[in-house]
Copies of this chain bind each other. A is one copy, B any other.
Amino acid sequence: MLAEIITIGDEILIGQIVDSNSAFIGKELNKIGVDVYQITSIQDDKQHILDALEEAKNRVDIVLLTGGLGPTKDDITKHTICEFFGDTLIQNDKVLQHIEALFAKYIHTPVTDINRMQALVPSTSTVLMNNFGTAPGMWLEKDNTVFVSMPGVPFEMKNLMKDEVLPRLQEKFDRPFIIHKTVLTYGLGESAIAKKIEQWEDDLPSFIKLAYLPNLGRVRLRLSARGIDEKLLIDTIENKIADLHAFIGDIIVGYEEDESIELMIGKILASRGQFLAVAESCTGGKISQSITAYAGSSSFFKGGAVTYATQSKTDLLGVDRDLIKQYTVTSNEVAKAMALGVKNKFKSDYAIATTGNAGPSKGDGDVEVGTVFIAIATPDRVFSEKFVFSNLRERTIGKAVNKSFEMLFNEIT
C-alpha cells in the first residue's frame, strides 16, 4: 500500500514556509501501515498540478494533497482538480453554513464572496468537513487511486486527517503491520553509538530496519519492523530492544515516539511531588518554553526567570553583585548562584541555570562566543559545568537547552 503526498504552493518552493504538513501525514500513514513512497512539492500552476496528479496515480494507491485551498486569488487547485476528474464545481450547503457559523463565532467580520466560494466542491467528491477552518477536505477516486485534497493550514489539515481521512483509509485498504519503536539516547554522537552497537545492528533480521536520527546531542534510534505476523514483529522488536541495553543502556532515556528528556524529567518529578524552576540568561526562555510546550507541565514546573540583563540577576535572583564582579557574569560561580537563587525564589526542589554567550558578538561577560555555564541545584547540592558548544547562536542555544536537561536527568535518575 503506497502513498504519495503532494503539496501545492509556490510558498513552499520559494521557501517562505516550511512543509511541516508532510511530516505529520507521513507519520500518521506509517502508523496504519501505509508507506509514503514520495513527497512532491509543486508550483501553484495548472499544468504542473495535472502532471503531478497523473504521475502519482501511476505510482501509488493513495494521493494526499495539501495546500492551494485558501480563500484568496493565488489558489487554483480546486479548479484544476475538477479538470483532472472531468468534474464541475457545485455549492455544498453544509459547508456554506459552517463557514457562516465560523465567521459569526471567531472572525467577527462579514462573510465575503471569496469566503462563500470555499463552499464550492467537485460534484462527485465526498466532502470531509473541516471543523477548524473554512476550506473543506475532498475525497475523490480515479482508476483505483484515492485522491484526498486538504487545506494547507496545519491544524486544519491535522484534524481532517485524524477525524476523516485516516478512518476512511483504514476501512478501505488491507494493510501490512508496521511496528516502530524509538530509542531516545543522550550524550553520545551518531558514530560513537554506531560503533558501540555494531554487532547488535549486524544481527538485526532483514524485516527490521534501523535509522539514526541525530539532533543537537540527542540521537534517536528508530527500529521499523514490517510484515504480516504482528506478534512476530512485536516480539522480535522487543527482544532486540532488550538486547540493546547491554550495549548502550547507560545513555537510553526512553522508548516512546514522542518522548523527550524534558517529558521524562516531568514524569519523574511529578510522580515524586517535586518541582523545578529555571533561571536563564543566554538560553533566553527556551528551557521554560520547552517544558511548558507540554500540557500538564504545571504538575512539576514552578516557573522561571529570564535574567537577560546582568542587573536582573541581582534584582530577581539575589545573585551577589560582588560575586559577579569577581568572577564575571559568565562563570560557574554565577551560574550556581543563579540556580540557588531561582530555587529559593520559586521554592522548588530542583533548579537549572544558564549563563554564557550565544553570540554572535561578545556580551557582558568576556568568554568566547559559544561558551555556556550550566548549573544544577538539587535538594542537597549545587554544581556547574562549562561548555563550548559552537559559533552559531541558534545551535549554541539548542545544545545548551539539551545539555541542561541531560544534567538534570542524571541527577534525578
User: Chain A: residues with CB nearer than 8 A to chain B?
Assistant: 10-20, 22-28, 30, 35-43, 48, 70-74, 106-107, 109, 112, 114-115, 132, 153, 155, 180, 182, 189-192, 194-195, 201, 209-215, 220, 222, 224, 275, 278, 280, 283-289, 291-293, 295, 297-298, 301-309, 311-312, 315-316, 345-347, 358-361, 363-364, 388, 390, 392-395, 397
Choice from B19, B74, B288, B363 contacting A210 with Cβ under 8 Å: B74
Docked CA distance A172–B109 (Å): 51
Identify whether the interface residues of A are mostly helix, strand, loop, or mixed. mixed
Given contacts A201-B73, A316-B316, contact A22 B15 (CB under 8 A): yes
Given the complex, which residues of B lie within 8 Å of A392, measured CB to CB?
132, 155
Contact B285 A286 (CB under 8 A): yes
Choice from B291, B293, B303 contacting A312 with Cβ under 8 Å: B303
Contact B363 A71 (CB under 8 A): no
- Name 9 A/B residue pairs within 8 A (Cβ), A-sorted: A14-B27, A14-B180, A38-B41, A71-B190, A72-B212, A275-B309, A284-B288, A286-B289, A298-B308
Among A212, A297, A359, A397, residue most surrounded by chain B Cβ atoms (within 10 Å):
A212
Given the complex, which residues of B lie within 8 Å of A16, measured CB to CB?
23, 27, 182, 211, 213, 220, 222
Given the complex, which residues of B lie within 8 Å of A153, measured CB to CB?
214
Given the complex, which residues of B lie within 8 Å of A20, measured CB to CB?
18
Contact B289 A289 (CB under 8 A): yes
Contact A22 B25 (CB under 8 A): no
Docked CA distance A359–B294 (Å): 10
Docked CA distance A347–B315 (Å): 9
Contact B305 A304 (CB under 8 A): yes
Contact B298 A289 (CB under 8 A): no
Docked CA distance A22–B102 (Å): 34
For A303, give the chain B residue with the smallest CB separation: B308
Given the complex, which residues of B lie within 8 Å of A293, measured CB to CB?
284, 394, 397
Choice from B72, B195, B289, B363 contacting A285 with Cβ under 8 Å: B289
Q: Knowing that A15-B36, A17-B215 are A-B contacts, what are 4 other residue pairs whose CB atoms are under 8 Å apart, sorted by A's residue number?
A: A38-B48, A106-B390, A286-B292, A304-B306
